[in-house]
Amino acid sequence: MNERIKDIAEQAEKYADANFKGEIFWTDAYESKFAELLIKECGVALAPMLRDMVSRGQAYDLIKKHFGVEE
């Protein structure tokens, strides 16, 4: 697995542990946080491409909107 994905998974686990440890919703919280962080990372990956776009950040904003990710 990619090291960045491992790092994102660890962050999601820490979030779920800090907020839902021992609760039935832990898995849902983990999966939700993992997805949110992964989508944000997509924006980081797209950044070089976006520098050349007329409307910088448009693709990133559309991805965030599509997945309901807020900063």
- Please list the pLDDT of the chain residue by residue as tens digits (71 residues): 578 888 999 999 999 999 999 999 899 999 999 999 998 888 777 776 666 665 656 777 777 776 777 76
Amino acid 9: pLDDT: 94
Amino acid 66: pLDDT: 67
Calculated CA dihedral for residues 24, 25, 31, 34, nearest 10 degrees: -120
DSSP 51: T
Closest CA relative to residue 15, chosen from 39, 36, 41? 36
Q: Other C-beta atoms within 10 Å of 40: how many?
A: 16
